[in-house]
């Protein structure tokens, strides 16, 4: 099958909507935007619904499509997911970054979808440790 169009898009995880502007773009290229949105939202269901992901969409001559979520570095994802809070350390206020256990599991499932969670979690936890984030 021959690729007719290639689109580079930024879409918020779990929030693809068949309405404008995405539906208009896809519809003008002959793609069923409802099917696209369902597939995209399923692919990103394990990600937080506020994370914007980079997506490459290949549209074939028969109007089918292939969605590829472009890889984000783990450190970048941690930076997007971390929350900061002010804590008292030795009578001085300091800002400390932390991440929730739920976000850690979401990252493991997203970054390593074909790996058992028992093997992917140590990788995520090692990066969290080197980033000096606290698990909350």
pLDDT digits (tens, 9 = 90+) for 83-106: 765 555 566 666 677 888 888 888
The pTM is what? 0.63
Q: How far apart are CA 99 and CA 79, in angstroms?
A: 9
Give the mean pLDDT of 54-79: 87
At residue 65, does pLDDT exceed 90?
yes
Q: Where in the chain is the domain with CATH 3.30.1550.10?
A: 3-69
Name the H helices within 44-116: 74-81, 101-111
Give the mean pLDDT of 102-112: 85
Confidence (pLDDT) at 88 = 54
CATH code for the domain defined by 3-69? 3.30.1550.10
At residue 134, does pLDDT exceed 90?
no
Q: What is the DSSP letter of 120?
A: H
Residue 72: pLDDT band (50, 70, 90) is confident
User: Which has more pLDDT, 95 or 70?
Assistant: 70
- Residue-wise pLDDT for 26-45, tens only, equals 999 999 999 999 999 998 88
Q: How far apart are CA 82 and CA 108, in angstroms?
A: 15
Q: What percent of the chain has pLDDT over 90?
A: 43
Confidence (pLDDT) at 93 = 65
Q: How many CB atoms lie within 10 A of CB 60?
A: 15
């Amino acid at each position: 099958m021959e690729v007719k169009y290639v689109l580079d898009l930024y879409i918020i995880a779990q929030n693809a909507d068949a309405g404008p502007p995405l539906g208009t773009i896809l519809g003008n290229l002959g793609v069923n935007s409802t099917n696209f949105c369902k597939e995209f939202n399923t692919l990103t269901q394990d990600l937080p619904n506020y994370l914007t992901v980079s997506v490459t969409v290949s549209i074939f001559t028969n109007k089918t499509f292939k969605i590829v979520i472009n890889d984000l570095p783990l450190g970048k994802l941690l930076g997007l997911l971390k929350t900061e809070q002010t804590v008292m350390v030795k009578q001085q206020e300091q800002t400390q970054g932390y991440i929730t256990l739920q976000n850690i599991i979401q990252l493991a499932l997203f970054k390593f979808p074909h790996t058992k969670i028992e093997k992917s979690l140590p990788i995520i936890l090692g990066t969290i440790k080197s980033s000096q984030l606290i698990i909350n």
